[in-house]
Amino acid sequence: MIAADDKNGKILYEDQDHKFIWLGADPEAASGVVQTNQYLIIDKGKGVLLDPGGIHLFARVVAIASRYISLDRIDSIFFSHQDPDVSSGIALWLGITSAKIYVSSLWLRFLPHFGVVDQSRVIGIENYGNVLKLQSGAALRFVQAHFLHSTGNFSAFDEKSGILFSGDIGASVFPEGREVLFVDDFDAHLAFIEGFHRRYMASSKASSRWVRSVQALSPKMIAPQHGAVYRGPSVARFLEWFARFECGVDVIDSIYSK
Ligand SMILES: [Fe+2]
Ligand SMILES: [Fe+2]
């Protein structure tokens, strides 16, 4: 279960210079609205937000992030893709911080539709490069995750903590009251990920390509934008499962028949 005090977030990794923080469960999540996770990396006093989320979460994410860092020290924001639950708060975040935003170049021309956006602060990852150097010299590595599920899609690997932020990949959807913060029993967890991945992910050709890149990084945790965080043996179990899972266009006939 997710404990009541988890609404204030939890530090998933910490050393002298570096923290990787889950920004907590929304205690007032409305039913019918997809649950989302936001994460904050603090490296030598500078912050990177990962998929800080949509407009309706903005006030809560600001309040929780502020418990850990002053907002004027957030200098980078990563968007895994263009979905509203990831990035519809873009204009608000640009207004309240001086951060630059990193997102697939495919979405640069689309994001202004979420509000007035200073384009000079929105950077296309394909043009920028694979690695965002953090204040301490540690690297946040952008990992291609195209078609999982978005056409232009990235994961972000925090080399210092060994935590991979995977966006929608690995997302779980829990029945009310069954939420957990960590996946410790992968077999039991399958019931909460199969439906989402079958319909939202493009194909096992796309997933196996991503899994190969990720296995080479040997992540210690996989932290998705929805649901629980994979740790321990569930990391490798999830990757093995996802590489072979038939989804999207692999099962298009079953989708059309519905
Ligand atoms: Fe999405
Ligand atoms: Fe999502």
pLDDT of 189-216, one tens digit each?
999 999 999 999 999 999 999 999 999 9
Question: What per-residue confidence (pLDDT) applies to 46?
Answer: 98
* Structure token pair of residue 4: 């009541």
Is residue 25 scored above 90 in pLDDT?
no
- The candidate with the shortest Cα–Cα distance to 54, out of 83, 22, 24, is 83
Tell me which ligand sits closest to the C-alpha of residue 200.
Answer: 1
From residue 249, how far is each of 193, 202, 246, 255 by CA, in Å? 18, 6, 8, 9
> What is the per-residue pLDDT across 87-139, written as a single tens digit (0 to 9) for each?
999 999 999 999 999 999 999 999 999 997 789 999 999 999 999 999 999 99
Residue 214 Cα to ligand 1 midpoint, Å, equals 19
Angle (nearest 5°) at CA 73 between 115 and 156: 70
For the entire predicted model, the pTM comes to 0.96
Residue 150 Cα to ligand 1 midpoint, Å, equals 7
Residue 226 Cα to ligand 1 midpoint, Å, equals 10
Provide the residue ranges of all domains of the chain, joining segments of one domain with +: 4-256
Residue 52 Cα to ligand 1 midpoint, Å, equals 13
- The candidate with the shortest Cα–Cα distance to 178, out of 191, 195, 167, is 191
> What is the per-residue pLDDT across 207-245, written as a single tens digit (0 to 9) for each?
999 999 999 999 999 999 999 999 999 999 999 999 999
Residue 136 Cα to ligand 2 midpoint, Å, equals 30
Residue 86 Cα to ligand 2 midpoint, Å, equals 6
Residue 149 Cα to ligand 1 midpoint, Å, equals 6
Q: How far is the first Cα of the chain from the last one, in angstroms, to the nearest whole number? A: 34
Tell me which ligand sits closest to the C-alpha of residue 148.
Answer: 1
Residue 36 Cα to ligand 2 midpoint, Å, equals 7
Residue 17 Cα to ligand 1 midpoint, Å, equals 31
Residue 81 Cα to ligand 1 midpoint, Å, equals 7
Amino acid at 106: L
Tell me which ligand sits closest to the C-alpha of residue 153.
Answer: 1
User: Rounded to an integer, what distance in angstroms lies between the CA atom of residue 55 and that of residue 88?
Assistant: 6
Superfamily for the 4-256 domain: Ribonuclease Z/Hydroxyacylglutathione hydrolase-like (3.60.15.10)
> What is the per-residue pLDDT across 135-165, written as a single tens digit (0 to 9) for each?
999 999 999 999 999 999 999 999 999 999 9
Over residues 176-190, mean pLDDT: 94
Residue 207 Cα to ligand 2 midpoint, Å, equals 16
3-state secondary structure the chain: CCCHHHHHCEEEEECCCEEEEECCCCCCCCCCCCCCCCEEEEECCEEEEECCCCHHHHHHHHHHHHHHCCHHHEEEEECCCCCHHHHCCHHHHHHHCCCEEEECHHHCCCHHHHCCCCHHHEEEHHHHCCEEECCCCCEEEEEECCCCCCCCCEEEEECCCCEEEEECCCCCCCCCCCCCCEECCHHHHHHHCHHHHHHHCCCHHHHHHHHHHHHCCCCCEEEECCCCEEECHHHHHHHHHHHHCCCHHHHHHHHHCC
Residue 137 Cα to ligand 1 midpoint, Å, equals 30
